[in-house]
Amino acid sequence: MISYNTTLLNHYIAPEISDFRACDAPDISMHHPEAPHWLSNHFLNSVYRSSFKNKYRQYAVNQIFRAQVAYADYHEARNLTIKFLSIGKPDNPSIRIYFQAVSRWESCLLNLQIFIDLMNKMKQDLKDEPVFKENDGTFEQRAYFMANTVKHWGSDVFAGRHRDEHTVPLWLTNTGLKTYSHLITYCELAKLISEIASIANELQDPVSWGIPT
């Protein structure tokens, strides 16, 4: 089997790919067994029990949707990452599987970001504190800004905001997901995804929420 120089791999594929050997992202699928059914359950609960009204209905439906997608993305990304580590070698990685995994991690972060935006708007209406404060270093803040890096990658490259070795906006490391300015560990992201899953699990039944129904 061909072996490639680590400098070439890091330069032409992704930063730190030649050192990427482990992923400790936990499987959290058993914690929220209702996840695939949140939207369907919300529909049935809204029809037969009680429903959110006006903009709160829009907030709820879209938060459930984004949580459901982010939750599925997390597990697909985890599975692809484990597959990448199992079939490739550090000096001859499976490039196709690597970028499949990265795309799912990116989707997970982007859907998480939309969830946070919706949650913040609802919190603002309810005179509540936002999910995070500017540069507070929390899981939520770091994940949100990492999603921004993915979303604005084209304009950032055009403006010369990234060094030449940053071939991609987000890459995989033994510690977690990384961008040029932030890092979130796999366990931190799992905890965050589990937290929004718990919110979606409650939102699926409007009766459980103390906002206008």
Q: Is residue 69 part of a domain?
A: yes
The residue among 108, 113, 101 whose CA lies nearest residue 171 is 101
The residue among 68, 67, 74, 66 whose CA lies nearest residue 27 is 74
Residue 58 neighbours by CB distance under 10 Å: 13
Global confidence as pTM: 0.93
The residue among 172, 196, 167, 193 whose CA lies nearest residue 183 is 172
Q: Is residue 99 part of a domain?
A: yes
Q: Is residue 54 part of a domain?
A: yes
pLDDT at position 213, please? 64
Calculate the dihedral angle through the C-alpha atoms of 179, 182, 186, 192, rounding to the nearest 10 degrees. Answer: -120
pLDDT tens-digit map of 76-121: 999 999 999 999 888 899 999 999 999 999 999 999 999 999 999 9
* HSE-up of residue 124 (Cα within 13 Å, Cβ side): 9
pLDDT at position 212, please? 61
Residue 89 structural domain: 39-205
Q: What is the mean pLDDT of residues 189-195?
A: 97
Number of domains the chain contains = 1
Q: Is residue 81 part of a domain?
A: yes
Contact (Cβ atoms closer than 8 angstroms) between residue 166 and residue 175:
no
Q: Is residue 153 part of a domain?
A: yes
Q: Is residue 29 part of a domain?
A: no
Q: Is residue 17 part of a domain?
A: no
Q: What is the mean pLDDT of residues 15-31?
A: 95
Contact (Cβ atoms closer than 8 angstroms) between residue 107 and residue 138:
no
Q: Is residue 97 part of a domain?
A: yes
Integer Cα distance of 74 and 60 in angstroms? 21
pLDDT at position 124, please? 86
At 163, the pLDDT band (50, 70, 90 cuts) reads confident
Integer Cα distance of 131 and 8 in angstroms? 41
Q: What is the mean pLDDT of residues 182-199?
A: 97
